[in-house]
Chain A
C-alpha cells in the first residue's frame, strides 16, 4: 500500500516495555502482550477488508443465495466527486457480490459502471486496464481473476486519489465499499440467523477508523449531506457493535442492516 509509507504514529502514550517474555513454566507457556506497554510505533494505517473476506466465511457456514443479494441499481448521473467516490466503492463491492453469485452478466455490467465512474472521476487511464481485465475474465468465468481485479481496481483508484492529495475521496471509496459489503452480510445473516454468522459484524475498529477518517476530512467533504448522514449512521452501527458483548441479537443485526441500507439509498439517490 504505497500510501502507507511512514504514516505510523509514535505511541508515545504507551510507556514501558513490550511484555513478550514467555510465561513461567508450568503455566501455559504462552507469551503475553500488553498493548498499553508497547514501546514501539503504531502503524496508523488501516487496511479495510474486501467484502469477499466476509463472504467466504458465510459460504463456509452455509450456501447463501448470492444472486438474491445482487442489486440492479442504476447509478445516478453526478459530477459530485464525493458522491462519485462513494458510488465507486459501492460498485466494486457489488462486483464482489456478483463474483460470489458467479453472475457473468452482472459482472460485465458492473465493469462498465466502473469505466463510467472512472471517466467521471477523471481516472480512466488508471482504471481502464483493470476494467478491461474484469470484462475479459468474465467472458472466461474466471472468478478468482475477477475478484483480484476488483481488489486491484479499488486499490489503484485509491492510490491515484491519494497521489492527487484527494485522501478524503479515497476514504469515500472505502466507505462506499464497506457499507455495501456490510449491507450484504446483514442481509444474508437476517435470512439465516446464527451467532457465528452474526459475529462477522463485530468490526468496531473499522467503524472507528471510518469515523476518524470523516472527522479528518476537509470541511467541504465532511459537511457533504451524504457524508454527514454516514457519520451519523456509523455512530448507530458502532453502538450496536459495542453493545454486542454477548453476541449480536437479531435486533442488532436488523438495526445495522437498516442503517447501512438507508445510507446506500442516499448514496444512490438522484440528487
Chain B
C-alpha cells in the first residue's frame, strides 16, 4: 500500500520534471535561435561572396564564426599563398552594425587592396606579396546590442 504522500511526492517530481523539460525546451529553442543567427551571419558572407564567385573566386567551405562584444577587436592568423588573390567576407545578421576589417602581413603592414561594405557584410581583397602568415583584424560595432554574432569566410582565385 502506498503511503498517502507518495502520490503528492510523485506529483512534485512530475512538476519538477515538467519545469526541467520546459527549461530544456527553452534552452534548446534559444540555442537554435543563436545557431540560426550564426548561420545567418554566414549566409551574409556567402551573399557578399556572390559577385566574387562570378569573377572566378573559389569559396572555401571552412569559415570562422562566433559572438563578440560590440567594438571588441578580433584577430585571426591565416596562411596565404603569393600568386593567389584572396577575398575575405565578414558578415553579421544583426541590424545597425558597423563592420571594419583589415589584413596585415608578417611585417605588420596592411595589405588589403580594396574594401567594400554593405548593411550586413563587408569584403576585402588581398594580393599577398609573400607566402606566409597574415593577420586579419576586425571588429563589429552595434548601436543597440552588447554582443554581435559574426562569421568570416574567404575565397581565392
Contact = CB atoms under 8 A, between A and B. Distances in A.
B14 interface: no
Interface stretch (A1-9, A110-118, A217-225): A1-9
A217 B155 CA distance: 30
Interface in A11-59: 11, 18, 20, 30-35, 38-43, 45-50, 52-54, 56-57
Interface stretch (B5-13, B19-27, B78-86): B78-86
A38 B77 CA distance: 13
Contact of B65 (A1, A32, A33): A1
A49 B79 contact: yes
A40 B83 contact: no
Contacts of A6: 66-67
A50 B63 CA distance: 13
A5 B84 contact: no
Contacts of A52: 58
Contacts of A38: 73, 75, 137
A155 interface: yes
Contacts of A48: 62, 79
Given A8-B74, A47-B78, A151 B108 contact: no
Contact of A33 (B62, B68, B102, B132): B102
Contact of B130 (A5, A57, A199): A199
Contacts of B109: 30, 32-33
Given A33-B137, A60-B83, A205-B77, A151 B110 contact: no
Contact of A40 (B59, B64, B73): B73
Contact of A35 (B72, B81, B135): B135
Interface string B113-157: 000000000000000001111010101000000000000001011
B54 interface: no
Interface in B71-99: 72-79, 81-84
Contact of A203 (B38, B67, B68, B79): B79
Interface of B: 38, 58-68, 72-79, 81-84, 102, 104, 108-110, 130-133, 135, 137, 139, 154, 156-157
Interface of A: 1-2, 4-8, 11, 18, 20, 30-35, 38-43, 45-50, 52-54, 56-57, 60-61, 144, 147-148, 151-152, 154-155, 196, 199-206
Q: Considering the complex of A and B, which 9 residue pairs feature the smallest CB-CB distances, nearest first?
A: A40-B73, A57-B83, A205-B133, A33-B108, A151-B61, A33-B104, A155-B61, A47-B62, A6-B66
